Amino acid sequence: MSRICVHGLGHVGLPTAALLALAGHPVTGRDIAPDLVARVNAGASGFAEPGLDALLARVIGSGALRASTQAVPADVHIIAVPTPLDAARRQADLSAVWQVAAAILPLLRGDELVVLESTVPVGTTEALAARLPAGVAVAHVPERVLPGRALTELVQNDRVVGGVDAAAAGRAAALYRAFVRGQLVETDARTAELVKLAENAHRDVNIAFANEIAAICARVGVDARRAIALANRHPRVEILSPGAGVGGHCIPVDPWFLAQAAPDDAVLIRAARAVNDAVPQRVVARVRAACARYAAPRVACLGLAYKPDVEDVRESPAVAVVQALLADGFPVSVSDPFVSEVPNGAVLRDAAEAIAAADVVAVLVPHTAFRALDARLFRGKAVVDPVGLLAGG
């Protein structure tokens, strides 16, 4: 069994560390946040992921996994740290990756495997290898994980394994076979990096088309969801559902990493980002128009997470809408069954209570719990529903 150190105990790194520990490897999970490390050592993840806390309790209890704020010598180092978007430059902020590289450099003998899981621009894995001693095998193994299904998808999904050379790809694939039941496809690091970015850019472009169709439908007086449903009856057409914008840690961010490599060629990718970034403000404009009917309008916003049935608010368009309405001075109540912290100035309430006290209701996230609300609650309210909850979308 290999000694493994997983750097970054977030939504990807922690489940990966736990699954490797369950497979029999001695694993140290490293994170720079002391409170997170203490929580993991107590057997708790700190975020909602079905089955993860039970798995943590098992592998922490057996001693197979422990968490630390310090990098430790290991046969394998897995880097799963955040690579956020530098919004000003629209480029990846790779500082956390380079910090891990600096932390492990004094510990390396020269025969280890270093796997970069973090989503990165093309060429980053090679740049990482250049910072490490000769003999260290370096590979990029990007994740394909849906929040709320991380444990299932880490095991079942196919993975692309990109090595700086073929030997590194082979070593990384052998490691992941310890828990991955999906196919492990070996390739070069640059291809693996581009594939991950292309996957999320593809989704962003398709969402942008749906949102653009919705905007056009609003201008010409056509029911967008009805029009899309009819278009999708064509055997080779599958338009997605429009919404309140695009959120999460991947889709609003990764296309910019792809565009970073060839900005002059990424015309469609950049256009899709512009379309999707504009959607929350269009929703705000609709809410403002609804509020104009009232002397002192009270607003209820249903949903704060970036997608249905998760607690993740990273890059959430719903948060952007709520913040804009608060900046306008509207009294805003927010209801979300998964989120307990709301933007400063908003009031967290039960959904039925928030609707009852409001003049204007903005449905921002189609959580399953909201689908069970009595339709009579919405009677007499001005409703803005970009996600199609009340239409069954």
> Is residue 126 within 8 Å of 99, Cβ to Cβ?
no
259-263: Cβ within 8 A, 24+ apart: 259/90, 260/90, 260/91, 260/92, 260/121, 261/121, 261/122, 261/123, 261/194
For residue 274, what are the contacts with CB-CB under 8 A and spacing of at least 6?
Answer: none
**Active-site hit among 250, 291, 301, 307:** 250
For residue 153, what are the contacts with CB-CB under 8 A and spacing of at least 6?
Answer: 144, 145, 146
**Active-site hit among 5, 196, 291, 301:** 196
> Is residue 334 within 8 Å of 341, Cβ to Cβ?
no
CA dihedral 371, 376, 381, 386 (to 10 degrees): 20
> Is residue 317 within 8 Å of 364, Cβ to Cβ?
yes
Q: How far is CA 38 from CA 32, 60, 81, 200, in A?
A: 11, 12, 18, 33
- Give residue 142's identity as a one-letter amino acid code: P
Active site residue 381: no
Residue among 236, 234, 238, 245 nearest 204 (CA)? 245
In this structure, the number of other CB atoms found within 10 A of the CB of residue 42 comes to 12
- Name the residues annotated as catalytic: 196, 250
